[in-house]
Structure 1
Amino acid sequence: MTTNLSLEGRKKAAFDHARAGRFEDAANLLLSVLKQAPHDLGSLLLLGDVRHAAGKTQDASRAYTAAMQAMQLGNGQVAPGYQQGVQRAQARLAEYARGYDAFIESELPKAKRSKRFDQSVDILLGKSGIYLQQPTKYYFPGLPQIQFYDTSEFDWVSGLEAKTADIKRELMAVLSDHAAFKPYLERDNSQPNVKSHELVGNDDWSAFYLWKDGERVEENCARCPVTAAAFDNIPLDRLPGQAPSVLFSLLKPGAQIPPHHGLINTRLICHLPVLVPGPAWLRVGNEVHHWQEGKVCIFDDSVEHEAKNEADQTRVVLLFDIWRPELSLQEREEVTKFLGAISAYSGEKVVSGN
């Protein structure tokens, strides 16, 4: 019986069965081989081919997927004899994915899906990953994983948006002073710069602060009185000596902020786009937001995010941080005291840096 053959003998017999169109016999032999050698790339690829030829595309997809996983376990190295098989498997997996996508679209059209459900479908289809809060310094558990917040849930948003024209006039006056903006990521030569990247000390991404490290910058507030007064009724996350920060954040044409995570997850970052001369975007997790002048966006920066100004002119947003609304007053007080104590002990500001 063929099942008494060696592994190589069964693989050869399976190939002969496949060539003769005896697909089920070939599949059974290959499955017996894979019981003993589950990472055998050649057998997995041939099993996918056999299942595909038999019209069993779901079984073929499983076999091809297992082949891709086996290939990755082998550090992605593919022996020359298997390269065409791997390319064929990848092409068929893409074909199956398109078919699956078309099926889902026919059952639940994208135009009729809710936003969160649509994200779940993209994750299932492998079009998007799962992005979670990963703050680099302090994590507060139990908070919802929301990338962009619905601004209609914040009663101060409409009032701030109504001041956009006045805020823009103040911004334009500041922009006429080329020395007013400083690099957002300042280089600290007294400390190691192991994680330094090209934006450190670079004014492609620069800032003009109204509040910095929890303190009003009185000189700058005097230059922008309407903008400074706009925050009187906004729930800024007040951490003495550390937060909030309120600033005009400037991105030069073509400048890109690489993917990164924020420091803590007890705050949200807010943008009021004041100067958006062309295409510019912010990605948070698996959502991409295109800034629109005068339209606030609110997001969780502890989720991986990046941004780019694709316009040929400068983009500026008014950036500030607020308490997450899910935190109770007691929790806010606890976080404030705790982060303050850490800062006093270590001599470093938990909410500063990048």
Structure 2
Amino acid sequence: MGDSQVNELAASANARGLAALRSGDFATAIDCHRVAAEADPESGALQRNLATACRAAGDDEGEIAALKAAIALDARDFIAWLRTAQLRTRRGEESQALSAWHAVIQMSQAIGELPPLLAEEVAQGQRVIAGIQAKLTQGMETRVSSRLEMLQGRDARRARAFLDAATGKRQIFNDRCSGLHYPFLPADEFFDDDLFPWFDQLAAQADKIRAEAVHVLANCRHLFRPYVQMPKGGHAGPWAVLDGKLDWSACFLWEYGTRNEALAEHCPATFAALDAVPMARIPNRAPTAFFSVLKPGKVIPPHTGVTNTRAIIHLPLVVPPKCGFRVGGEEREWIEGKPFAFSDTIDHEAWNHGEEDRILLIFDAWNPHLSQVEQDAIIEFCDVADSLGLSPQEHDIGR
């Protein structure tokens, strides 16, 4: 039989099958569509038509076989995957349904805008995924909650992040450095407090530091400047709402390794506290330390910093209600007088939905996973880079 005859046979059988399907004669529809699919075994569309007839007749096994055949012909057959996901859901086969729906969602994102009916079917699939994941999460929580309660510190935080990520409750973020990147360091959102044994020493000075910050803000307002100052003519992007404004302002005690002597008489306790902790010290680059003020109703948009060789320390000084901070998949509230450290190369944002200024002391320390030898190597590298005129001081919006 020639190709034209095959095509005619497939087309004729398909037409008879569609007519039988419209009239409700599902058995005849299946027979005709099977003849069409056998006549043209390279046609995924004919396999889908056969699957539709089987679905109408309640023949799940026939529908599964036809959809598998369609997907075998084209692994990105969106409609075949969609019907497979719906069939698995209908049969209560949650594992296979979840896998199929994930394929549908992924393909739909690549396709872009869908016709309204298909878009609603995909939306239904997203609801199915959410329901299955909720059941999975509940089951996981029931079985492992007692074990999680036995964990403490970093073990508890990492185990919780693992469980939440595995059950679709949170995203895991990688670090993104716009400048110096040191390989193989852990991409942790918040560093564990026990990596900074001097935190208690810093916290003990919080009241004195707070008093000096409030004094400077009240009496030396001219020493504060907008934290975001983009180059003129550049694209401010998400920073446009803060660019050149005091909505997020900073009063620098140290800036790129230079001490601000104009503040020395106003902030002796703060300078003493900073001198007593191991800030990162790189000539012409670090440390940077400043009082950070975020005005009421203002938001710092999601962003990432320059280098993963540093840890950013926040010492909260004045924290009104409705303030918050997110790094990666974890949100925290600032607690006055309690420092913490995080990696600003991981996506982070902050907000002040309260009615008063939020004030922090922020400064750089070395990433605690770097050895002294590695710190010295970084210092040497930066010295050579500076000698070649490679400036580190542009567009460092992190912290």
TM-score (ref. length: structure 1) = 0.92
Partner residue of 2:91? Answer: 54
Residue 5 (structure 1) shift: 5.1
Q: Name the aligned partner's letter for residue 327 of structure 1.
A: L
Residue 285 (structure 1) shift: 1.2
* Structure ranking higher in helix proportion: 2
Partner residue of 1:63? Answer: 100
In the TM superposition, what are the counterparts of 1:320-331 in structure 2 within 5 Å? 320-331=363-374
Pick from 130, 134, 137: which aligns with 2:176?
134
| Aligned counterparts of 1:48 and 1:154: Cα–Cα separation in 2 | 50
Aligned length: 351
Residue 81 (structure 1) shift: 4.5
Residue 39 (structure 1) shift: 2.2
| Aligned counterparts of 1:328 and 1:262: Cα–Cα separation in 2 | 22
1:106 partnered with 2:152: no
| Aligned counterparts of 2:395 and 2:52: Cα–Cα separation in 1 | 63
Q: Extract unaligned runs of 5+ from structure 2.
A: 1-30
Pick from 194, 197, 201: which aligns with 2:235?
194
1:145 partnered with 2:145: no
Partner residue of 1:4? Answer: 38
Q: Name the aligned partner's letter for residue 99 of structure 1.
A: K
Q: Extract unaligned runs of 5+ from structure 1.
A: none
1:42 partnered with 2:74: no
Percent identity over the alignment is 30
| Aligned counterparts of 2:208 and 2:393: Cα–Cα separation in 1 | 34
Q: Does the 8 Å CA contact 2:256/2:393 hold for their aligned counterparts?
A: no
| Aligned counterparts of 2:214 and 2:164: Cα–Cα separation in 1 | 41
| Aligned counterparts of 1:171 and 1:32: Cα–Cα separation in 2 | 70
Q: Do the aligned partners of residues 153 and 61 (structure 1) sit closer, same or farther apart at CA in structure 2, a change above 3 Å counting?
A: closer
| Aligned counterparts of 1:59 and 1:266: Cα–Cα separation in 2 | 44
Partner residue of 1:311? Answer: 354
The CA deviation string for residues 23-50 of structure 1, in whole angstroms up to 9 with x for no partner, is: 1111111110111132222222211222
Pick from 174, 180, 191: which aligns with 2:223?
180
| Aligned counterparts of 2:96 and 2:39: Cα–Cα separation in 1 | 25
Partner residue of 2:378? Answer: 335
SS of alignment partner, residue 243 of structure 2: coil
Q: Do the aligned partners of residues 352 and 227 (structure 1) sit closer, same or farther apart at CA in structure 2, a change above 3 Å counting?
A: farther
Q: Does the 8 Å CA contact 1:339/1:350 hold for their aligned counterparts?
A: no
- Superposed CA RMSD in Å reads 2.0
Which structure is larger by alpha-carbon Rg, 1 or 2? 2
Q: Do the aligned partners of residues 326 and 84 (structure 1) sit closer, same or farther apart at CA in structure 2, a change above 3 Å counting?
A: closer
Residue 134 (structure 1) shift: 1.6
SS of alignment partner, residue 388 of structure 2: helix
In the TM superposition, what are the counterparts of 1:1-354 in structure 2 within 5 Å? 2=34, 3-4=37-38, 6=40, 7-74=44-111, 76-109=112-145, 112=149, 114-177=156-219, 178-189=221-232, 193-195=234-236, 197-198=239-240, 199-346=242-389, 348-349=391-392, 353-354=396-397
Q: Does the 8 Å CA contact 1:34/1:43 hold for their aligned counterparts?
A: yes
> Which protein, 1 or 2, shows the higher relative CO under an 8 Å CA cutoff with sep ≥ 6?
1
